[in-house]
Amino acid sequence: MGGASFYFRSMIDSRIVITGIGLTAPNGDNLPEFRKNLLEGVAGIENIETRYMGTVHAGVCHFDPLRYQKKKSLRIGTRAGSVAIYCSQEAVRDSGVDWQSQDKDRVGVYLGVTEHGNVETENEIYNISQFDYDTRYWTHHHNPRTVANNPAGEVTINMKITGPHYTIGAACAAGNAGLIQAAQMLRLGEVDFVLAGGVSESIHTFGIFAAFKSQGALAHHADPRKASRPFDRDRNGIVVSEGGCVFTVERLEDAKARGAKIYAEIAGYALNSDAKDYVLPYSVQQAVCMRQALKKAGINPADVDLVNTHATATPLGDEQECMAIREVFADCPETFVNNTKGFIGHAMGAAGALELAGNLPSFDDGRIHPCLNVDRLDPKCEVPNLVLGKPLDGRRVDVILNNSFGMLGINSVLIAGRYVE
């Protein structure tokens, strides 16, 4: 019993690190391409046609799904599954792990999602509408396509993983939540190697566009590349995007034993709830969440070098987050703030993971990418050291705090630190 207790304590105290990154975003299908476009101000928003809505702005990914899947599995599976498989395979490849000899029983897959199954159900209803709603034309693939664990499950089938898998429904806080789950399960000793992050297929459902439009929260602009404008006076809503980002996550001792490169250490995190409204954000609880994460990391606000904001370009949402940041990071002259959604729109369940990935290279190159499309800063969104216009160069970045908030008042904060012995 004593030995088991020691093992449990040793796992709980383990340091958790990120050792591989696989992603697809509207402006890049791998981290080097994504990072380059963030630094060079390249947005990936375009116009698409969607059922019943006509032309809408969207963030579309252009990865090759056949790199890791056969045509048959593409027919059976989902777009979210394809995104997840591509990102997971790329992350494993990037990690340098000997995948063939990896014990697949000890690999976990934890992927955050905002929603899942809407696309497939909408498509089937539309299909049977062409046949007088005769359900004989309803596909027998609908059930496995729409179960909530689908994207993570498709990864396990594709990669022959026999360890635990599930998705984490955490609205737009889900990308961070996937990483938080990874850290917790590794520390509990339930798994030894994790694929974690977030994925989204949102642009393939007309319902999300229709709902945001009915709320007055769907972005519109003559130039789609300028439609997503967090913090700008003329911002008018969200650009819906698809995308994915998956990290390989390990205990430090395991990563060191195999000589892995280490992108970052997961230094702290927090999840909490507003308990206030279905849709409207609440700065008070956002600030509490940031403070909880800082406390878990054992650091002060002034120790944070970069805050990546969640801001989605909705008027109230951006204001509330800026209020929280001003409160938590008052008197922090060396803490800088940026945003990623001007480049890629809102990738929903993938947002937090993608935005963290895009900033992690700051540990190595000393550069902080700017916000995009802030032509006239809204005074209500003014925060100290907001990076605008061009990258900030020559900064030593040791700590990144990543905000990700979602509907029904779920807030997530993840703190990544430069790895040091």
113 beta partners: 169
Is it the case that residue 318 has pLDDT exceeding 60?
yes
For residues 127-146, average pLDDT:
97
The mean pLDDT of the chain is 96
- C-alpha–C-alpha distance, residues 241 and 345, integer Å: 6
pLDDT of residue 3: 57
pLDDT tens figures, 214-269: 999 999 999 999 999 999 999 999 999 999 999 999 999 999 999 999 999 999 99
Q: How confident is the model at residue 9 (pLDDT cuts 50, 70, 90)?
A: low
pLDDT of 12 reads: 81
pLDDT more than 70, % of the chain: 98
> Does domain 267-417 bear CATH number 3.40.50.720?
no
**pLDDT tens profile 80-96:** 999 999 999 999 999 99
For the chain, give every domain's residue range: 2-257, 267-417
- pLDDT tens for residues 350-390? 999 999 999 999 999 999 999 999 999 999 999 999 999 99
* Backbone phi, psi, residue 41, to 5°: 75, 35
Q: What pLDDT does residue 421 have? A: 87
Is the confidence at residue 6, as pLDDT, over 60? no
Per-residue pLDDT tens for 172-182? 999 999 999 99
Q: What's the pTM?
A: 0.96
**Single-letter amino acid, residue 406:** G
* Confidence category of residue 344, pLDDT binned at 50, 70, 90: very high
d(CA 131, CA 173): 39
Do 2-257 and 267-417 agree at the fold level?
A: yes
Q: What is the pLDDT of residues 258-299, one digit of tens each?
A: 999 999 999 999 999 999 999 999 999 999 999 999 999 999
Instruction: Write down the residue that tokens 């993938």 correspond to.
Output: 350
Q: Tell me: pLDDT of 11 over 80.
A: no
The C-alpha atoms of residue 421 and residue 414 are separated, in whole angstroms, by 21
Give the residue numbers marked as catalytic.
172, 310, 346
> Which fold, 2-257?
Peroxisomal Thiolase; Chain A, domain 1 (3.40.47)
| Residue 321's pLDDT band (cuts 50, 70, 90) | very high
The confidence band for 13, taking pLDDT boundaries of 50, 70 and 90, is confident
The pLDDT, as a whole number, for residue 10 is: 61
Give the pLDDT score at 159: 98
The residue-averaged pLDDT of 47-72 equals 97
